[in-house]
Structure formats: structure tokens, C-alpha cells
Amino acid sequence: MRPYDVVFEQALTRADPERIHHAAFRAIRAAGPLTRRAVRVPGAPVHAMGLRFPHPLGLAAGFDKNAVGIDGLAALGFGHVEVGTVTGEAQPGNPRPRLFRLTADRAIVNRMGFNNDGAEVVARRLTAWRDAHHERSRRAARRNGFATSPGAPPPILGVNIGKTKVVPEEEAARDYEKSAGLLAPHADYLVVNVSSPNTPGLRDLQAVEKLEPLLAAVRRRADEVRPHDRVPLLVKIAPDLSDDDVLAVADLAVASGLDGIIATNTTISRDGLASSADTVEATGAGGLSGRPLTHRSEAVVRMLRDRVGPDLTLIGVGGITTLDDARRRLAAGADLLQAYTAFVYEGPLWPRRIVRGLAADA
């Protein structure tokens, strides 16, 4: 048993998961200056959406909702970090408790409800983050006697945007447009999240007749604020969509010129869990992530790839825990991978293990 497993079983499982998350994230941020100096993880670069990713593995949205620890997370070995979900207006999210572990299933149930500081605050934070990277680059140039120096490049940054809870469905496009206008200037890629189960009515926006005008509105706004530097746009979908609806989203993505699809978000299903019925019932409603999603998420990626062809970028997320899981998701057609729950259960060294294993395959 690894040291992290002992700590997790003996200590972390005995405390409130949300409190542990915040404590662990504070430690990651505090260690950032040291972990940035660690030996870089070798990986096989991936070229997708006009971007060069250092390797396939990234951190899914949900861990860093407010863009406060990007560098610390990247230093652990993630090749890209997706922040958010960010909404047009700040909101506290759902009442606590709202985060639960199903340890027998290596799964997490959350009903966080898009708790975040809002697009305006996150945009200011990302401006400061970019400025800090430029300043570090300038200092490195002066130390080395060069006029300019690229320094250590910032990690690839995705920004995931969602709907503010109090905004009615008929005004959803305006809310997403606000976030896109504020955040697209700072993002390497932008994600429209219409698949969280924790905002009432949000998943209804996955229906193509609603999704098409929403994506068009976000695309227009992103192009307005970045007229000479097109930001890639993706949509994140749920594993609970029927196969026909998955294919309909795939067709829409191709027809509308979308840059990619992230598959998949959390599930509302509780089928086939190892945890007792009483334990599952006690967690209540919310999106389930982790090992139970492995097969469905892989199947959705495979369906999407068969439908969209080789050019559209697919990011596979959901139930990727082992190196074999990562290999299978790539073989199913994913260009890039993301994880969250495995990071919680496997610990801070997990990203580097997966990246090294994938690099050895290359």
C-alpha cells in the first residue's frame, strides 16, 4: 500500500470531503513554487485545435473553479488545466453538505451547483495570472542577458462556462455571452457546459434545437472580443444522453464548426454500484464521477469518433484511473484526456505516473 493510500484511508475518509478538498488545494498552491522546479514530466506532445499540448492528460473542470491554483496543478504533471465552471454572476452553489465519496466504487457524488466567484472576478484573476507569467519571463531574460526570453510557458488553459442558476432558460444565451466576453480573451480554449445535473434545467440545453443557437451566440461573442485570434470552442456533454442524442450533438458540432467535444460529464445514474443501497441513498442527488463512468464514457467517445471523423478534437473524461484506462480512451478516439476523481483517490503523484506510462507507449 502506498503512503497516500494509508493517509487517504486513515485520515481523509474521516473528514468532510469539501473541507479536505479546500485544505489539499491550499497545500498544492503553497507548494507551487517548489513543484514548478521539479523535473518536467516527459510526454508525447499532442497537437489539437491549433494548440500544442505537452501530453494528453489534463485536469477536468471542477477542481479549480475560480482560477486560483493553475500553476500549482500544472506542476503536478497535468499538461492542461480547465478552470470553472464559471457563471456570468457569482453564486454560492447549493447548500452543504454537497460533496460525498463512495469509496467502494472509487467514486464521488457532487451537487456543488456551480459555486464560483463569477466571470468578472475570474477574468481579473486570469489577467493577473498572465501578467505574472510575462513578468517571470522578463526577469528570466534579464538574468540570462537576453533581450527576450520565453521562460517556462504557462500551462494550456481551458475555461469552462455555465449558466447562472437564477437566470431563466430563455435568457441563457445572454448569460453565456457575458461569460464568453469576459473570459475568452484569457482562454486557450473555451468550453460550454450544458451537462451538469446540479443546475435545474441545464441539461435541457443539450437538445440540439436549444444548443445550436446557444453555441452560435457564444461563438459570435468570443469572436468579437478576439477578432484576430480565434479561441477554440467545445461543448461538454453528459453520459446520460441516449445514443441518438450523442450522435445528434456530433452532427451539430460538425455542421456548426465546433472545435471539439468533451465526453463526458458526471452521471445521475446509480446503476451497478458496489456501495450499499443505504450509503448511496444517504448521498442524495447529484452527479456521480469516477470508476462507474469508465465504460459509458469510453463508449460515448467511440461513438463520437465514428461519427465526426478524424478532425474534430475529442477530450475523454470519466472513469480514467489506470494507465490501461487512459490507453483505452485514446484508442477509442480521444485526442486528449482529463481526470478529476482519480486524482482525489490516487494522490498527487498520479498524473506523473499516467503521463510517464503514456510516454513509454509513444
Task: List the binding residues for FMN.
Answer: 61-65, 85, 160, 193, 236, 264, 290, 319, 340-341
Q: What angle do CA 133, 81, 238 make, to 5 degrees?
A: 155
Q: Which of 149, 179, 195, 196 is catalytic?
A: 196
Closest C-alpha to 109, from 315, 236, 241, 270: 270
Give the whole-angstrom CA distance, residue 129 versus residue 69.
10
Residues 6 or more apart from 324 whose CB is under 8 A from it?
A: none
CB of 324 within 8 A of CB of 46?
no
- Provide φ and ψ at 264, rounded to 5°: -140, 170
Q: What angle do CA 275, 277, 279 make, to 5 degrees?
A: 65
Whether 196 is catalytic:
yes
Q: Which segments are annotated as binding site for substrate?
A: 65, 110-114, 193, 198, 265-266
Closest C-alpha to 92, from 68, 72, 116, 75: 116
Q: Which segments are annotated as binding site?
A: 61-65, 85, 110-114, 160, 193, 198, 236, 264-266, 290, 319, 340-341
All 3 cell numbers of residue 116? 464560483
Sign of torsion over alpha carbons 181, 183, 189, 193: negative
- The catalytic site residues sit at 196
